[in-house]
Homo-oligomer: A and B are copies of this chain.
Amino acid sequence: MKFYKSTTLTFKNAHVLGGYTVAGPKENAGKYHGKFDLALQNDMFGQKTFERAERKMFEHAMDGALAKCNLGHDELDLICGGDLLNQIISTSFSAKKYHCGFLGLYNACATFVESLIVGASMLNNGLNNVLCVAGSHFSTAERQYRYPLELGVLRSPVTQWTATGVGATVLASQVHKPVPKVVSATIGRVLDYGILDLNNMGAAMAPSACDTLLQHFSNTNTNPTHYDAIYTGDLGKLGKDILLDLLLQDGFDASKVLHDCGASLFFEEQQTYQGASGAACTALVFNCHLLHKLAVGKYKRILLAGTGALMSPTSSFQGDSIPAITHVVEVQA
């Protein structure tokens, strides 16, 4: 695979002060059971609509992250993030509670990593505390992107299950104790390999993940053995296998270190086929799992590769194939 020339940004002071996760009931019944800060009993979260529930999850995750980091609302300089709903209403509406700046982002399921990149860049620009947030909700995404839930459409074996969850991370320029740091980032390009099957997101996104990872390896003069773990976003099991094959074709054996947030979320018996998808995947796994591994020294150096499929129902109806994007950040303990 021929990679492209993209700069890898470096950050001196992008400390990960802390993170907070809100997850749905099915997610909490999965492999990360008990690791979420808040696990919902019911994905309606006491609201009248799924969209309101998703919004409330964002509010809780953002408030929770600030509280966990002992930060008041007035100490926050910026919120950056997004979600999968049209006009990213979950993030925009939940940001109303805060009296700080807001930058709305959208790179589909790569949005969480995009928010870490924009957030870390804003610290380089002089801000002190930035909240990065992203998430998704199975029931809002399903009816917006696919079919009404009530229709009970049979799912293809290559499909994934949109994860219900929100993850929020506080990046801070100054800290009083040692915390993990976002040290560098490679911003991905939009790549389209002509995949038309909306069920098979893993196949659409795997070449993009390979592309940005190769670029990051090249720019930082590293290879998979330099990292304790490489977590992709939501390639799913099939997409992860495709990525391993693609990397191997370029001479990189990542089989020992590669994980996929989406593929790692559910147990086989939860019948999600290829695992989870959605903006929640990276946001949940980074904040509930990876930050802990970094904090206890189990991981010293990892890559988080947010993967996103950039189509819309309209573009698919009009016959377009699925473009994908992957952003990579390197986080060190």
- Name the contact of A312 in the complex, choosing from B86, B101, B189, B192 (C-beta under 8 A): B86
Contact B318 A102 (CB under 8 A): no
Contact A103 B74 (CB under 8 A): no
Q: Which of A72-112 contact B (CB under 8 A)?
A: 74, 77-78, 82, 85-89, 92-93, 95-96, 98-108
In this complex, the interface size class of chain A, counting residues with CB under 8 Å from chain B, is: 35 or more
11 contacts between A and B (CB under 8 A): A4-B100, A85-B314, A87-B315, A89-B314, A92-B323, A93-B315, A93-B320, A95-B189, A96-B323, A104-B105, A121-B124
Of A5-13, A18-26, A241-249, A287-295, the one with at least 4 CB within 8 A of chain B: A5-13
Tell me if A52 counts as interface (CB < 8 A to partner B): yes
Interfacial chain B residues near A302, Cβ < 8 Å: none
20 extra interchain contacts, Cβ-Cβ under 8 A, other than A104-B325, A121-B124? A6-B101, A9-B122, A9-B127, A51-B315, A78-B187, A86-B312, A86-B313, A86-B314, A89-B311, A92-B323, A92-B325, A93-B190, A95-B189, A96-B190, A102-B189, A103-B107, A103-B118, A104-B114, A105-B106, A121-B121
From A10, A48, A82, A315, residue with most partner B Cβ within 10 Å: A315
Chain B min CB distance to A143 (Å): 10
Tell me if A152 counts as interface (CB < 8 A to partner B): no
